[in-house]
Structure 1
Amino acid sequence: MQRTTPSATWLSGRPSLRRRLDQFGIGLAGLCMVHCIATLAVVSALGLGGHFLLEPAIHRVGLAFALVLAALAIGWGAIRHRHAAPLLTATIGLVFMGVALAVAHGFDEMVLTLVGVVLVSAGHLMNLRAAH
């Protein structure tokens, strides 16, 4: 019977934590997509919720979360599996999301954000696959 030390348990748990961070990043990207599409639909169709749903702070906070999650999960994965594609894909997606903050609310912003979100999600998926 082999005994595990607390540090050995922590080390063996790292891939699981990284995997959960990637999965959370994918979930966050999905929520962002729903927010973009729902905002456009609700504001256009009903004229309601524009003051809250189009609030720039929501987009800045979302981008900040995406940056932190990508840096942790994909950066950590890149160090472990030595594949640059997930990191490059997610970085390009984050740039798209950042550019979306600089344009006026509307269709262009939504397209830039959705392209960015899809690329960040793809980076997380690639990171999960590269880890196996």
Structure 2
Amino acid sequence: MSDLINTLGVSASGMQAQSARLRHVSENIANADTPGYHRKTVSFQEHVLRGERTGQVTPGPVALDQSALTRVFDPAHPLADSSGHYDGSNVDLVVEIADAREAQRSYEANLRMFDQARQMTQGLLELLRR
């Protein structure tokens, strides 16, 4: 029974981590045209309780992508320098959309695992009631 309860915790932590990842991806997409914006990334850390691995994950600290910002030529832009260029963002929409799909599918997989463990727990409790 405790394994089923642990499974619920593992899948719930996975859903929370993927929702945090999706939140940062959506922020990146929303700021793709913001001058000087650096892409945000989030990594996952394994959750350890009393020195033992639990199988759960937590979102780690948010990191800014330090790759070079794109140089945009627009002499009419208020941030343009004397050569007519300004720093754009380093957000690649193709990468962000791929990350969003991966996060969505991972979230759905954790949701299915959570639902399956819940159904198994419910079935076990029904058997014990008899």
| TM-score, normalising length: structure 2 | 0.49
Task: Considering fraction of residues, name the structure with more strand.
Answer: 2
* Larger-gyration structure (1/2): 2
Higher fraction of helix: 1
